[in-house]
Amino acid sequence: MSWAFLRDLLSGVNKYSTGIGRIWIAVVFMFRLLVYVAAAENIWKHEHDEFECNIKQPGCENVCFDHFFPVSHIRLWALQLIMVSTPSLLVVFHVAYRENREKHHNQKLYKNPGKIDGGLLCTYLISLILKTGLEIVFLVLFYKLYNGFKIPRLVKCDIKPCPNIVDCYISKPTEKMIFLYFLVATSCLCIILNLSELSYLIFKYSIKCYLKRHVKKQQ
């Protein structure tokens, strides 16, 4: 089980997405997943070992690290990637349900089970709203947990068993900050893509509905 699983999952979703949805998948693959695996993971690899405090008191470093990093940036990033990709599964399940229904009744109930209309449209819109919501939740979480998106070089710690206020130094703060900003930028890009897709679908189908009604009235 690894990121390849997520990649295969998202490739399956690609079939039932709109054009903007496919761009979203490409952005997630190239600028978030690939950057995470190829670059970001290694920066945070030895963050605990390289976290150094100006004290010899045993336990002080551990306690200070735990206080300043309740959940590591990289773990939050991974969780965000997983959560944000999951709502797309709703669409895949719905299409599978439709195909199953057709098989069960042994007749063609839908013109094309993968076409986004009717119930599948609702599912698709819900998945878009969930994706956007989760992105915003994680961005807010990052902001609240770490007091903004800055990573300081030095933090001052005075939790027991540290005897007094101790200077602790975070490793590679600049590099971590650059990648954090990159994460925020790609998240915002994905939010914009999701919102555009949402408005595009709502606009398209309201026009369709309106035209149908107009034609019926004329008849």
How many of the chain's residues bind other proteins (CB under 8 A)?
Answer: 38
What letter does residue 32 receive in the DSSP assignment?
I
Q: Does 172 bind other proteins (CB under 8 A)?
A: yes
Position 176, amino acid? K
- Restricting to residues 75-94, name those near other proteins by CB under 8 A: none
**Beta-carbon neighbour count of residue 168 at 10 Å?**
21
Q: Kindly state the smallest distance separating residue 218's Cβ from other proteins, in Å.
A: 26
Q: Does 178 bind other proteins (CB under 8 A)?
A: yes
Among 171, 186, 195, 198, binds other proteins (CB under 8 A): 171
d(CA 202, CA 187): 23
Provide the token pair at 169.
């130094």
CA distances from 186 to 106, 156, 193 (A): 45, 31, 10
Question: Which sign, positive or negative, has the C-alpha torsion 179, 181, 184, 185?
Answer: negative
Q: Kindly state the smallest distance separating residue 114's Cβ from other proteins, in Å.
A: 12
Q: Does 4 bind other proteins (CB under 8 A)?
A: yes
- Residues near other proteins (CB under 8 A) are 3-4, 6-7, 19, 22-23, 26, 29-31, 33-35, 37-39, 42-43, 46, 50, 52-55, 153-154, 167-175, 178-179
